[in-house]
């Protein structure tokens, strides 16, 4: 069975992706910071689908934790897919750049870009060995558009987009997709803009866009989930 590592997998988009992959028979290594919800998610998926699902709580900015994630995947057979979904906002709720603490920006960059690259570096030998080695980085339209209060988070996601683009050039044997999932009803968004209660799709609604990429395996690049769901690239 193919093996995937998914960070930020106890809830939201990470949890929805784990559900979809487990339903397709994938074995999974799941990461999140909170042990209880993560283990509950792993147990539920293993019971429902009969695949091997390993929960490993920790902080992706910790190099030892990243090494442990890859070691756990190696014991399952390797790494065919790495999904960097764990994210940090930098400030909760979001604030203008004039008020953004430098420590908050550092945290966003560490989680969203530096840790994502560190995990890729740790998993790269196994990804190269896979017949279909794939890296998915979860991006945001804030990486490409200038929205007030989203500057720190958007800068970290722009850095992640550039890392993904260069990785695709340097590792032509892999597929590397940066995916903007669009607006979703997640705890992250609620923490970012608590006063915005507008209706948004549940994370599961955008999962078919990620599955389309896995099924069709287009060229490495940046993709927007709404366009993929509409049948466009």
Residue 68 CA, distance from chain mean position: 17
The catalytic position among 10, 87, 139, 140 is: 139
Instruction: Please state, in angstroms and rounded to a whole number, the distance separating the CA atoms of residues 142 and 122.
Output: 28
Q: What is the pLDDT along the chain (233 residues), one digit of tens a residue?
A: 999 999 999 999 999 999 999 999 999 999 999 999 999 999 999 999 999 999 999 999 999 999 999 999 999 999 999 999 999 999 999 999 999 999 999 999 999 999 999 999 999 999 999 999 999 999 999 999 999 999 999 999 999 999 999 999 999 999 999 999 999 999 999 999 998 878 899 999 999 999 999 999 999 999 999 999 997 66
Q: E strands along the chain, which residues?
A: 3-6, 27-32, 53-57, 81-84, 134-138, 175-180, 221-224
Residue 157: active-site member: yes
Residue 153: active-site member: yes
Q: Which residues contact 141 (CB under 8 A, 6 or more apart)?
A: 180, 182, 224
What's the full length of the chain, in residues? Answer: 233
Encoded tokens for 15? 């949890």
Instruction: Please state, in angstroms and rounded to a whole number, the distance separating the CA atoms of residues 167 and 163.
Output: 6
The catalytic position among 84, 140, 157, 223 is: 157
Residue 139: active-site member: yes
Q: How many domains does the chain have?
A: 1
Instruction: Please state, in angstroms and rounded to a whole number, the distance separating the CA atoms of residues 82 and 96.
Output: 32
Tell me the residue range of the domain where 80 lies: 3-229
Q: Are 203 and 12 in contact (CB under 8 A)?
A: yes
User: What pTM was computed for the model?
Assistant: 0.97
Q: Pick from 233, 215, 214, 212: which is nearest to 224 by CA?
A: 233
Give the CATH number of the domain where residue 76 resides.
Answer: 3.40.50.720
The catalytic position among 153, 156, 220, 223 is: 153
- Within 10 A of 34 (CB to CB), how many other CB atoms are there? 11
Q: Which residues contact 13 (CB under 8 A, 6 or more apart)?
A: 85, 138, 181, 184, 186, 203, 206, 207
């Amino acid at each position: 069975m193919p093996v995937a590592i998914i960070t930020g997998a106890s809830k939201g988009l990470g949890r929805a992706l784990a559900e979809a992959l487990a339903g397709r028979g994938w074995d999974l290594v799941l990461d999140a910071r909170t042990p209880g919800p993560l283990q509950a998610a792993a147990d539920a998926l293993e019971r429902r689908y009969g695949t091997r699902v390993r929960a490993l709580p920790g902080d992706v900015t910790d190099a030892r934790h990243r090494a442990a994630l890859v070691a756990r995947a190696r014991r399952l057979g390797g790494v065919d897919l790495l999904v960097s979904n764990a994210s940090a906002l930098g400030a909760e709720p979001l604030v203008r750049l004039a008020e953004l603490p430098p420590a908050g920006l550092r945290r966003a960059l560490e989680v969203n870009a530096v840790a994502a690259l560190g995990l890729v570096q740790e998993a790269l030998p196994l990804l190269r060995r896979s017949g279909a080695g794939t890296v998915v980085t979860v991006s945001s339209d804030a990486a490409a558009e200038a929205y007030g209060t989203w500057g720190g988070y958007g800068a970290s996601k722009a850095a992640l987009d550039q890392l993904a683009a260069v990785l695709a050039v340097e590792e032509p044997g892999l597929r590397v997709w940066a995916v903007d999932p669009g607006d979703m009803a997640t705890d992250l968004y609620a923490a970012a803009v608590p006063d915005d209660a507008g209706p948004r799709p549940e994370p599961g609604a955008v999962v078919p866009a990620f599955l389309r990429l896995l099924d069709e395996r287009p060229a490495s690049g940046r993709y927007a989930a709404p366009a993929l769901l509409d049948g466009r690239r």
